[in-house]
């Protein structure tokens, strides 16, 4: 800085000081700083982790559902139980497991109930993040689908109450198939197309102008791709009595994912599209086949751009039909101070027919009465929905394959999701599956270390 | 030069323009127009405010307010704390100065997200969860801001300080009357650092302030990516709102940015 | 706090006379320690409580193991680091991070400098323009990732533009060779405007008479940039160099959302690896060990940079 600048600066300095004594200004700064601190401190509300005041218990329910999902069930539960209030902490879907695990890991007592992704239940239970609910299990016997109760059991203890399940089907674009003179797939739940036929039909549709032949809803996620291997006889990808040994290089896995690779390699399915964006490919009317869940229909109906039909989820030629299943359950934190009130709410939400129906939203309830109500409501919406209801009912009873119940599920899922993405993007399936096999074994090693 | 500048600015802003355009049209149109590329990729044909309606039907307004409160609190508290520390490190002579400087440097080398879990235990132990204080505190002691300000303060000629000290000015006076007024550009820079840290904050708020009343804007936006479908329209509308605040603030502060140090010295 | 018996008796001005930085002479033992502590303490306490203490916890955790990520943990000591180094995925993430750092840091600093010089010119609308260039850093990174996920789609707008220019479509995020450059593009789009702002602030400080003098000496545009701008900007460049390098070492949100480290691990930056160990696999021990490795690398980088910078300033 030049001497000239310095002169100007000190001039200003002198001029300024004439207005206020230095000491006072310094003190004023301290004052401002102090008042800011007070202000900030005042702005933060105190937290009541205890949750009960004046005879009312407030339960904190952590979940990742769309806003409004639980409004009805909470309102009617609170009306019947005036001393219990339910407060929801909605977390973005992708962050639910992260935040719940981190908070329970530090023994956060402010979570009473939380949503448990069913394949993660074993790990949560093994970590001591779930309160056993065997008394609720007694009540649920005969009222909730036994498969759902089984999947929420770990080491013979009930650790969460299942709320919903899920299933898979094949959507097809009627116009694109008609243009290609491909007959529409049958909606008979017991006679699914083969993946080989779907590929051939998809190619014809593309030849007749369809931009894409086929796309999955969750292109690189274990949830939707496990059934491919299961259908080809490959099993869930894990073996051993505790399911802690990788098994993704067997003939079934290799067949299924060599085919999956070729579908993208040949351009029947488009590469490089995130799972979030795949439904828009079908909703836009530019894709012939869409493998997804019943929930996808809401988005397709909203846009009304596409005239679509539904068929059962395909299987490999000579293989057995296999469909994804399971969904969310609700469990109680062992650090909760209001376990009895929490049980009351869970019981109402999952076992009570009215409560379970109020909780249905656009999901498939596992409570038996609520399930009937769901199917009836769906069927009443029209011909296509009647077909959808039949397909769902049949698949849940006959072709559903659950994800493996093991503490190591997360390791398998995150490893396989990456492998699926690589195979889709062009890496040869046998090599990538061999690599994934090693990675899974390495990750699972820590459980026996 | 004007042309070059315009082209560069346009290139940077193009993705954001598309975001805003997509906030103003139905989701179907957004995805229908991405290929082939045409004018309609960037211009909404079927103008609608529906995305904003859905956005504000949720508690997004509250979340924006929370983000603003947290960011503002961080700016005020953080600038005061960081500038004071930088002043001590740059101007004052005392034993152990190198150690204190090292502490500040090491503090910005630490990946915040990786230590969020132990930090959460500390905050929960202090009963701070679900409070503005819990959201603000991790942002205020910013080593980068201290580092930036210290560098700037070192460039201010010590003759100024000596003259002022001879005139009987205390250290607080030197700090408040000489260093801060001369350091406007650096303070704006430090403000940017603090601002970006909090405006982008995601994981920490999720862990320490999960109550709906305490939600911050990035978390509120992420909630539109549900498991049964993603509401891109609402996400883009939310992003548009998060753009608007810094845009207005920055345009306002441009005035100070264009002043040089020497100029700010005379204008005062 | 340490008490200094001397200061009150000495005349205030005398205490500081001739006490410019680096030229202190005859100072008393504690110097300005009490007053320095009042200035420093809030920031130091914040740094220690909010950063260093949890890091110390991480160091402790890195020496212990727990298969499920919960108590009780058991002592494993340095074995934790051995397991980490034996893990090809972790080694790969170190390699990817190194490659990323070597490309992204010089690139971002050079581009930020060029942009700063351009937008420092007295041109109409410069204020608006640089605000627009800065804006990408203001939106949540998750949204930035969504925008680029659309842009990079094989049937997306970028390939659409290439197509108009007669260039064959590219794989971008799906291509093992192009994924890392694509990530570099995204983080640079977010970061370059931010770093530019600091450099503009530095440019504003340069005394215009220096350029006038250089102009009188017949220096051209490049010579003035080389001999006036760069040396005068040294302090700001040093800040940007250090801060940008560290920020890029800690990048992970765009990677996590756009590629999750793929294809074939080509974009698995180290923080993505740490994040996955800590939050997905809940392997606290391994995550802490990986965090320690990141901090040690960052420390090494900064020490080297400080050494180079202090040598350069003589």
DSSP secondary structure of chain B: -HHHHHHHHHHHHHHHHHHHHHHTS-HHHHHHSSSS--HHHHS-SS---HHHHHHHHTTHHHHHHHHHHHHHHHHHHHHHHHHHHHHHHHH---TTHHHHHHHHHHHHHS-GGGGHHHHHHHHHHTT-TTSHHHHHHHHHS-HHHHHHHHHHHHTS-HHHHHHHHHTT--HHHIIIIIIHHHTHHHHHHHHHHHHHHHHT--HHHHHH--SGGG--HHHHHHTTEETTEE-HHHHHHHHHHHHHHHHHHHHHHHHHHTS-HHHHHHH-
B217 to chain C, any CB pair closer than 8 A? The answer is: yes
Structure tokens at A299: 């988005």
DSSP 8-state secondary structure symbol assigned to residue C147: H
B155 to chain A, any CB pair closer than 8 A? The answer is: yes
Packing angle of the helix pair A222-231, A409-424 (nearest 10 deg)? 80
Q: pLDDT at residue A432 above 60?
A: yes
Give residue C65's pLDDT: 81
Q: pLDDT at residue B45 above 80?
A: yes
Q: Which residues pair with A86 in a beta bridge?
A: A59
Q: pLDDT at residue A41 above 70?
A: no
Residue C74 DSSP SS3: strand
Determine whether the interchain pair B141/C30 forms a contact, defined as Cβ–Cβ distance below 8 Å: no
- C156-174 burial, b at 16+ Cβ within 10 Å, e below that, comes to bbbbbeeeeeeeeebbbbb
- Across the range B109-113, mean pLDDT stands at 91
Tell me which chains share at least 3 CB pairs under 8 Å with chain C: A, B
C-alpha distances in Å from residue A47, one per residue of A105, B44, B63, B210: 20, 45, 19, 12
Structure tokens at C232: 């005068």
Cis before residue C263, ω within 30 degrees of 0?
yes
Centre a 10 Å sphere on the Cβ of residue B86 and count the other Cβ atoms it contains. Answer: 30
Which of C69, C146, C264 lies at the smallest CB-CB distance from A422? Answer: C264
Give residue A234's pLDDT: 96
Structure tokens at A98: 């992260």
Q: Which CATH class is domain A52-162+328-362?
A: alpha beta
In chain B, what are the domain boundaries? 1-48, 51-267
- Give B73's contacts in chain A (Cβ within 8 Å): 36, 40, 43
* Dist. CA C97–CA C90, nearest whole Å: 10
The mean of the pLDDT values for chain A is: 88
Burial class (CB in 10 A: 0-12, 13-18, 19+), C112: buried
- Across the range C172-189, mean pLDDT stands at 94
Position A37 confidence tier, pLDDT thresholds 50, 70, 90: very low
Q: pLDDT at residue B9 above 80?
A: yes
C-alpha distances in Å from residue A16, one per residue of A24, B88, B264, C12: 13, 23, 14, 20
Q: Tell me, letter by letter, the H, E, C secondary structure of chain A.
A: CCHHHHHHHHHHHHHHHHHCCHHHHHHHHHHHHHHHHHHHHHHCCCCCCCCEECCEEEEEEEECCCCCCCHHHHHHHHHHCCCEEEEEEECCHHHHHHHHHHHHHCCCCCCCEEEEEHHHHHHHHHCCCCCCCHHHHHHHCCCECHHHHHHCEECCEECCEECEECCCEEEEEHHHHHHCCCCCCCCCCCCCCEHHHHHHHHHHHHHCCCCEEEEECCCCCHHHHHHHHHHCCCCCCEECCCCCEECCCCHHHHHHHHHHHHHHHCCCCCCCCCHHHHHHHHHCCCEEEEEECCCHHHHHHHHCCCCEEEEECCECCCCCCCEECCCEEEEECCCCCCHHHHHHHHHHHHCCHHHHHHCCCCCEECEHHHHHHHHHHHHCCCHHHHHHHHHHHHHHHHCEECCCCCCCHHHHHHHHHHHHHHHHCCCCHHHHHHHHHHHHHHHHHHHHC
* Dist. CA B236–CA B245, nearest whole Å: 15
CA distance B172 to chain C (A): 9
Residue with the bigger pLDDT between A339 and A20: it is A339
Q: Most confidently modeled of A47-51, A120-124, B29-33, B180-184? A: A120-124
At A40, give phi and psi (nearest 5°). Answer: -60, -45
> In this predicted model, what pLDDT tens digit does every residue of C119-149 receive, in sequence order?
988 888 888 898 899 999 988 898 899 999 9
Position A52 confidence tier, pLDDT thresholds 50, 70, 90: low
Residue with the bigger pLDDT between C219 and B240: it is B240
Position B257 confidence tier, pLDDT thresholds 50, 70, 90: low
* CATH H-level, domain C80-312: superfamily: MetI-like (1.10.3720.10)
CA distance C301 to chain A (A): 31
Give residue A67's pLDDT: 84
C102 to chain B, any CB pair closer than 8 A? The answer is: no
In chain A, what are the domain boundaries? 52-162+328-362, 169-325+402-448
- Across the range A412-440, mean pLDDT stands at 95
Centre a 10 Å sphere on the Cβ of residue B96 and count the other Cβ atoms it contains. Answer: 16
> In this predicted model, what pLDDT tens digit does every residue of B172-218 receive, in sequence order?
999 999 999 988 888 989 999 999 999 999 999 999 999 999 999 99
- Give A67's contacts in chain B (Cβ within 8 Å): 58, 223
H runs (alpha helix) in C67-178: 79-86, 88-120, 126-134, 141-151, 157-164
Q: pLDDT at residue B231 above 50?
A: yes
Which of B53-62, B125-134, B226-235 comes out lowest in average pLDDT? Answer: B226-235
Determine whether the interchain pair B80/A36 forms a contact, defined as Cβ–Cβ distance below 8 Å: yes
Q: Which of C203, C211, A4 is nearest to B157 (CA)?
A: A4
Give residue C312's pLDDT: 62
Give residue C217's pLDDT: 85
Under a CB-based contact definition with an 8 Å cutoff, are residues B185 and C233 in contact? no
Determine whether the interchain pair B167/A17 forms a contact, defined as Cβ–Cβ distance below 8 Å: yes
- Across the range B222-247, mean pLDDT stands at 90
Position C313 confidence tier, pLDDT thresholds 50, 70, 90: low
In this structure, chain C runs to a length of: 314
Q: What percent of chain C has pLDDT over 90?
A: 51
In chain C, what are the domain boundaries? 80-312
* Dist. CA A422–CA A429, nearest whole Å: 9
Under a CB-based contact definition with an 8 Å cutoff, are residues C140 and B202 in contact? yes
Residues of C with a Cβ under 8 Å from any A Cβ are 65, 67-70, 87, 89, 146, 149-150, 152-155, 171-175, 207, 209, 260-264, 276, 279-284, 286
Position C77 confidence tier, pLDDT thresholds 50, 70, 90: confident
Cis before residue C72, ω within 30 degrees of 0?
yes
Structure tokens at B61: 């307004």
Which of A333-337, B181-185, C46-50 comes out lowest in average pLDDT? Answer: B181-185
> In this predicted model, what pLDDT tens digit does every residue of A344-398 receive, in sequence order?
999 999 999 999 999 998 899 999 999 999 999 999 999 999 999 999 999 999 9
Give residue C70's pLDDT: 65
CA distance A168 to chain B (A): 13
Structure tokens at C75: 């002592």
User: Which CATH architecture describes the domain A169-325+402-448?
Assistant: 3-Layer(aba) Sandwich (3.40)
The mean of the pLDDT values for chain C is: 85
Give residue A392's pLDDT: 97
Centre a 10 Å sphere on the Cβ of residue B166 and count the other Cβ atoms it contains. Answer: 14
Q: Which of A395, A9, A14, A364 is nearest to A170 (CA)?
A: A395
Q: Which residues pair with A311 in a beta bridge?
A: A170
Position C275 confidence tier, pLDDT thresholds 50, 70, 90: very high
**A400-401 and A323-324 as β-strands: parallel, antiparallel, unpaired?**
parallel
At C49, give phi and psi (nearest 5°). Answer: -70, -40
Q: pLDDT at residue C20 above 50?
A: no
CA distance C91 to chain B (A): 19
Sign of torsion over alpha carbons C109, C111, C112, C117: positive
Give residue C137's pLDDT: 92
Sequence-distant contacts of C124-128: CB under 8 A, at least 24 apart:
C124/B2, C125/B2, C125/B5, C125/B6, C126/B5, C127/B251, C127/B254, C127/B257, C127/B258, C128/B9, C128/B251, C128/B254
Give residue C262's pLDDT: 82
Give residue B36's pLDDT: 81
Which of A98, A127, A443 lies at the smallest CB-CB distance from C68? Answer: A127
* Dist. CA A121–CA C281, nearest whole Å: 14
Q: Does domain B51-267 have CATH number 1.10.3720.10?
A: yes
Which residue does chain A place closest to B33, by CA atoms?
A: A284
| Residue B28: CA count within 13 A, CB half-sphere | 17
Residue with the bigger pLDDT between B94 and C25: it is B94
Sign of torsion over alpha carbons A440, A445, A447, A448: positive
> In this predicted model, what pLDDT tens digit does every residue of A159-207 receive, in sequence order?
999 999 999 999 999 999 999 999 999 999 999 999 999 999 999 999 9
Q: pLDDT at residue A125 above 70?
A: yes
Give residue A218's pLDDT: 92
pTM for the structure as a whole = 0.87
Give residue A122's pLDDT: 94
Give residue C142's pLDDT: 87
B140 to chain C, any CB pair closer than 8 A? The answer is: yes
CA distance B121 to chain A (A): 6
């Amino acid at each position: 800085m030049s001497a000239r600048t310095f002169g100007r600066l000190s001039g200003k300095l002198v001029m300024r000081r004439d207005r206020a004594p230095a000491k006072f200004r310094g003190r004023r700064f301290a004052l401002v700083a102090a008042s800011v601190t007070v202000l900030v401190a005042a702005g933060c509300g105190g937290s009541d982790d205890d949750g009960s005041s004046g005879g009312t218990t407030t339960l904190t329910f952590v979940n990742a559902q769309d806003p409004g999902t639980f409004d009805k069930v909470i309102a009617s539960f609170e009306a019947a139980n005036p001393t219990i209030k339910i407060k929801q902490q909605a977390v973005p879907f992708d962050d639910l497991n992260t935040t719940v695990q981190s908070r329970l890991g530090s023994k956060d007592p402010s979570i009473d109930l939380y949503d448990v992704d069913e394949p993660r239940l074993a790990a949560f239970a093994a970590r001591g993040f779930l309160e056993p609910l065997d008394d609720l299990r007694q009540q649920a016997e005969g009222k909730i689908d036994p498969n759902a109760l089984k999947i929420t059991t770990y080491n013979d203890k009930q650790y969460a109450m299942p709320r919903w399940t899920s299933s898979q089907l094949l959507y097809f674009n009627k116009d694109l198939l008609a243009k290609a003179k491909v007959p529409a797939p049958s909606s008979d739940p017991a006679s699914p197309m083969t993946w080989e036929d779907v590929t051939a039909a998809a190619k014809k549709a593309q030849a007749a102008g369809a931009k894409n032949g086929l796309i999955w809803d969750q292109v690189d996620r274990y949830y939707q791709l496990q059934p491919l291997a299961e259908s080809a006889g490959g099993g869930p990808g894990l073996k051993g009595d505790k399911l802690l040994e990788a098994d993704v290089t067997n003939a079934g896995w290799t067949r299924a994912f060599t085919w999956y690779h070729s579908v993208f390699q040949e351009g029947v399915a488009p590469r490089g599209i995130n799972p979030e964006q795949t439904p828009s490919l079908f909703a836009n009317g530019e894709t012939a086949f869409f493998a997804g869940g019943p929930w996808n229909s809401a988005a397709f109906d909203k846009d009304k751009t596409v005239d679509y039909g539904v068929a059962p989820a395909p299987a490999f030629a000579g293989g057995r039909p296999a469909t994804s299943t399971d969904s969310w359950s609700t469990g109680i934190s062992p650090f909760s101070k209001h376990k009895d009130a929490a049980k009351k709410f869970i019981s109402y939400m999952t076992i009570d027919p009215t409560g379970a129906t109020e909780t249905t939203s656009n999901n498939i309830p596992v409570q038996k009465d609520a399930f009937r109500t769901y199917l009836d409501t769906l069927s009443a919406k029209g011909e296509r929905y009647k077909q959808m209801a039949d397909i769902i009912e049949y698949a849940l009873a006959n072709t559903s394959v659950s994800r493996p119940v093991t503490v190591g599920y997360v390791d398998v899922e995150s490893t396989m999701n990456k492998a699926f993405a690589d195979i889709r993007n062009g890496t040869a399936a046998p090599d990538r599956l061999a690599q994934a096999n090693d990675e899974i074994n390495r990750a699972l090693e820590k459980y026996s270390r | 030069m004007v042309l070059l500048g315009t082209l560069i600015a346009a290139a940077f802003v193009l993705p954001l323009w598309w975001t805003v355009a997509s906030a103003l049209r139905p989701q179907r149109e957004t995805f229908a127009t991405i290929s082939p590329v045409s004018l309609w990729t960037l211009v909404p044909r079927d103008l609608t405010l529906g995305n904003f309606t859905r956005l504000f039907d949720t508690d997004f307004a509250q979340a924006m307010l929370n983000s603003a409160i947290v960011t503002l609190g961080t700016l005020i508290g953080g600038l005061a704390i960081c500038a004071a520390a930088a002043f001590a490190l740059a101007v004052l002579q005392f034993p152990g100065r190198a150690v204190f400087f090292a502490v500040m440097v090491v503090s910005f080398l630490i990946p915040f997200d990786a230590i969020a879990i132990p930090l959460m235990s500390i905050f929960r132990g202090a009963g701070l969860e679900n409070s503005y204080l819990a959201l603000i505190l991790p942002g205020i002691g910013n080593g980068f801001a201290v580092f930036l300000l210290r560098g700037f303060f070192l460039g201010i000629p010590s003759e100024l300080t000596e003259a002022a000290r001879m005139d009987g000015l205390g250290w607080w006076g030197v700090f408040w009357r000489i260093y801060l007024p001369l350091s406007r550009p650096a303070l704006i820079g430090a403000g940017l650092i603090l601002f970006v840290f909090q405006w982008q904050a995601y994981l920490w708020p999720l862990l320490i302030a999960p109550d709906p009343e305490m939600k911050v804007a990035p978390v509120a936006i992420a909630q539109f990516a549900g498991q049964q479908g993603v509401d891109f329209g609402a996400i883009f509308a939310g992003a548009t709102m998060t753009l608007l605040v810094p845009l207005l603030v920055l345009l306002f502060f441009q005035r100070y940015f264009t002043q040089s140090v020497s100029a700010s010295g005379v204008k005062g | 706090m340490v008490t200094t018996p001397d200061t009150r008796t000495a005349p205030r001005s005398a205490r500081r006379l001739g006490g410019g930085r680096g030229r202190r002479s005859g100072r008393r033992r504690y110097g300005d320690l009490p007053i320095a502590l009042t200035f420093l303490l809030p920031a130091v306490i914040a740094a220690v409580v909010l950063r260093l203490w949890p890091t110390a916890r991480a160091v402790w955790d890195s020496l212990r193991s727990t298969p499920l990520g919960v108590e009780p943990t058991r002592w494993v000591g340095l074995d934790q680091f051995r397991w980490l180094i034996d893990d090809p995925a972790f080694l790969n993430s170190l390699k990817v991070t190194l490659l990323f750092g070597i490309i992204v840091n010089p690139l971002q600093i050079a581009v930020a400098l060029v942009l700063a010089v351009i937008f420092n010119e007295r041109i109409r609308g410069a204020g608006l323009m640089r605000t627009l260039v800065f804006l990408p850093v203001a939106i949540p990174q998750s949204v930035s990732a969504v925008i680029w996920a659309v842009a990079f789609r094989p049937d997306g707008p970028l390939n659409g533009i290439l197509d108009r220019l007669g260039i064959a479509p590219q794989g971008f995020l799906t291509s093992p060779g192009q994924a890392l450059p694509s990530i570099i593009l995204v983080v640079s789009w977010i970061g370059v405007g931010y770093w530019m702002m600091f450099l503009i602030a530095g440019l504003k400080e340069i005394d215009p008479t220096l350029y006038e003098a250089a102009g009188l000496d017949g220096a051209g545009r490049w010579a003035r940039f080389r001999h006036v701008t760069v040396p005068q900007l040294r302090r700001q460049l040093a800040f940007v160099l250090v801060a940008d390098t560290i920020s890029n070492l800690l990048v992970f949100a765009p990677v996590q959302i756009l590629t999750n480290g793929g294809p074939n691990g080509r974009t698995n930056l180290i923080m993505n690896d740490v994040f996955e160990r800590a939050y997905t696999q809940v392997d606290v021990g391994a995550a802490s060990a990986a965090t320690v490795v990141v901090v040690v690398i960052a420390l090494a980088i900064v020490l080297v940079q400080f050494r180079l910078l202090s040598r350069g300033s003589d």
